[in-house]
Structure 1
Amino acid sequence: MSLLDLASVRAERQAAAAQPRKRLRYEEMISFIENLVADGNLAPGDLLPTQGELAEMAGVSLITVRRALEELERAGRVRRHQGVGTFLAKPRIISEPGRSGGLLSTLRQSEEEPPRVGTRLLKLVRGAPSPVLRDALRLGPDDAVWQITRQRLVDGEPKILETAVIPVALAPTLDLHKEALTGSLYQLLADRYGLEDHAEEQYLEVSAADTDERRLLRLPARSQVVRLRGLSVDASDVPFDCFVQVYPALEFGFYISGATSRELLRGPVTDGWDVTPEPAPQRRTAERSRARRPGPPAGGA
């Protein structure tokens, strides 16, 4: 092929690329649904017509409708519930996981009132940490931990699963304050045990929700979640909380302000975050009275 022919082919390709791309049928269906929502003044939480009704209204196949709804769901604009229907999604809740304070101070919704936040205590057990947790919390081989599992409610709906692992030596009487665990855990730790969050390091991943996560967060099958694992340390650089927070991936956005990593989380942080419950709640009086940590007396740090 001559250089002239090559130039001609290149010019034809450039001209073709400059032409508006013809939209695919499912893309046209997305526009149809968007117009339907706008014309009908539908609001978040409203039920859309069934797939069959949408196909008939638009004159397209069910396959086209399903693809359009899949794309809208992937973008977080609709929620599909098997056996119920497809609903317009609420705006994403914005979480700032690196911001200190209780859950309410880390959540916001665009151009709306702050969300109402509540808590259900699902489990408080004492047990032996996995080797990964023991290393992260700098514990000895016989040191026990508390494992606290809570369901966080946003505007009355379960939206976040939260598990915290705290050394018993640092909070020896935590089981006596179960009623306070429906509020701010960090406030309780600060008020009762002088444990204040000075720094955190976090690891974020997106993966499929497991059976318990789907049940507790009321998610449909094959839902994705954002799983945030982290470690909190106090001003004396003592680690006191390994935590995992699970968020529905399509309902949350995350705002993260960077800082230099201290590499508090060493090695893989996706496996081995388990606690083996003790067979019986046998506690020694001496354990409750021992110092919460080695080092200077309280108030000296």
Structure 2
Amino acid sequence: MQDNLFKIDLKSKLPLYDQIERNLRDLIVNGHLKPGEAMPGEWNLAELYGVSRLTVRRALDELVRQSWLEKKHGVGTFVRQPTMASIAAGQLSFTEQMRSIGREPSSKFISQQVTAATDKIARALHIQEGDPIIEITRVRLADNVPILLETACLSTAKFPSLENHDWSQDESLYRVLSDEYEITISAMDHTIKPVTLTETEARYLKAQAGIPALLSQIIAYTPGGTPVEYAWSVSNGDKSEFYFHFQRTE
């Protein structure tokens, strides 16, 4: 790994340990530091950042507390296997998110059907209530562990013959839209709220019914701002972790 990736601004008003914490977290999120990888030693990091060992230790301890790193007694500090996706900028699909953190994505096909759009789905996709849509339900897995129970809805008028696609082949929906319809997803509205798992959801996710979970609802857009997908997914609460980085733009 390149030493110049370990960088902070010594003239910044932000505390040095805070800058180191943010820098290391970004390196993990963006895949420069991979799950299971040993971290450089404290003395090495102190030299790379130009700070004291105590400053480095404070940053590492905070990342351990946040479950980004784990310390193994007598061995060292390692990048922790993430419980789910730490979503990096520019990576909108589940497949991209999982691969960015070193996990192997896969899907288990549950069902697909052509049905009538409800008012909520119609408004999201800018179509009429009752218009035909294809509804695709799959379990999304990372390293063969169930992560999400997901249902995606798309207009059959915008994507003719999509209902005939064989989803048992474990393909990325966004790759199919790109390859077969020349549609690229460039933006997404994403809403998350707490729920509890139903018995059906728990069965697919191999979890216990009634435990805390997260319901995610998304609307995906083309570069021109056209909504093409409305989807919702449920994830087991103890397998969910979200990382957001906000930065002011002038």
**Shorter-chain TM-score tier:** 0.5 to 0.7
Distance 1:124 1:258, change over 3 A: farther
- Structure 2, unaligned stretches of length 5 or more? 1-65, 68-80
Q: Which amino acid aligns with 2:141?
A: L
Residues 29-71 of structure 1 show CA distances to partners (whole Å, capped at 9, x for unaligned) of xxxxxxxxxxxxxxxxxxxxxxxxxxxxxxxxxxxxxxxxxxx
Alpha-carbon distance between aligned partners in 1 of 2:174 and 2:82, rounded to the nearest angstrom: 28
Q: Quote the RMSD (CA, aligned, Å).
A: 2.7
Alpha-carbon distance between aligned partners in 1 of 2:89 and 2:149, rounded to the nearest angstrom: 17
1:51 alignment counterpart: none
Aligned residue among 126, 143, 157 for 1:155: 143
Alpha-carbon distance between aligned partners in 2 of 1:133 and 1:123, rounded to the nearest angstrom: 18
The 8 Å contact of residues 100 and 197 in structure 1, kept in 2 or not, is answered as no
Q: Which amino acid aligns with 2:204?
A: L
Aligned residue among 185, 191, 207 for 1:203: 191
The 8 Å contact of residues 111 and 138 in structure 2, kept in 1 or not, is answered as yes
Distance 1:109 1:237, change over 3 A: closer
Residue 230 (structure 1) aligned with residue 226 (structure 2): no
Aligned residue among 83, 88, 105 for 2:96: 105
The 8 Å contact of residues 147 and 164 in structure 1, kept in 2 or not, is answered as yes
Following superposition, the deviation at residue 151 of structure 1 comes to 0.7
Aligned residue among 69, 78, 87 for 1:96: 87
1:190 alignment counterpart: 178
Following superposition, the deviation at residue 198 of structure 1 comes to 1.7
Following superposition, the deviation at residue 101 of structure 1 comes to 4.6
Following superposition, the deviation at residue 254 of structure 1 comes to 0.7
Alpha-carbon distance between aligned partners in 1 of 2:87 and 2:221, rounded to the nearest angstrom: 18
The 8 Å contact of residues 92 and 109 in structure 1, kept in 2 or not, is answered as no
What TM-score does the superposition give when structure 1 sets the normalisation length? 0.51
Alpha-carbon distance between aligned partners in 2 of 1:140 and 1:125, rounded to the nearest angstrom: 18
Give the number of aligned pairs. Answer: 171
The 8 Å contact of residues 98 and 256 in structure 1, kept in 2 or not, is answered as no
Residues 244-276 of structure 1 show CA distances to partners (whole Å, capped at 9, x for unaligned) of 12211112211234589xxxxxxxxxxxxxxxx
Structure of greater relative contact order (alpha carbons < 8 Å, 6+ residues apart) = 1
Q: Which amino acid aligns with 1:219?
A: A
2:121 alignment counterpart: 133
The 8 Å contact of residues 185 and 223 in structure 2, kept in 1 or not, is answered as yes
- Structure 1, unaligned stretches of length 5 or more? 1-74, 77-89, 261-301
Residues 215-251 of structure 1 show CA distances to partners (whole Å, capped at 9, x for unaligned) of 1001123211111101011122111000112211112
**Superposition pairs for residues 53-68 of structure 1, below 5 Å?**
none
Distance 1:156 1:129, change over 3 A: same
The 8 Å contact of residues 93 and 252 in structure 1, kept in 2 or not, is answered as yes
Distance 1:168 1:93, change over 3 A: same
The 8 Å contact of residues 233 and 240 in structure 1, kept in 2 or not, is answered as yes
Identity, % of aligned positions: 22
What TM-score does the superposition give when structure 2 sets the normalisation length? 0.61
Alpha-carbon distance between aligned partners in 1 of 2:135 and 2:89, rounded to the nearest angstrom: 22
Alpha-carbon distance between aligned partners in 1 of 2:214 and 2:150, rounded to the nearest angstrom: 12
Distance 1:136 1:128, change over 3 A: same
Alpha-carbon distance between aligned partners in 2 of 1:200 and 1:248, rounded to the nearest angstrom: 22
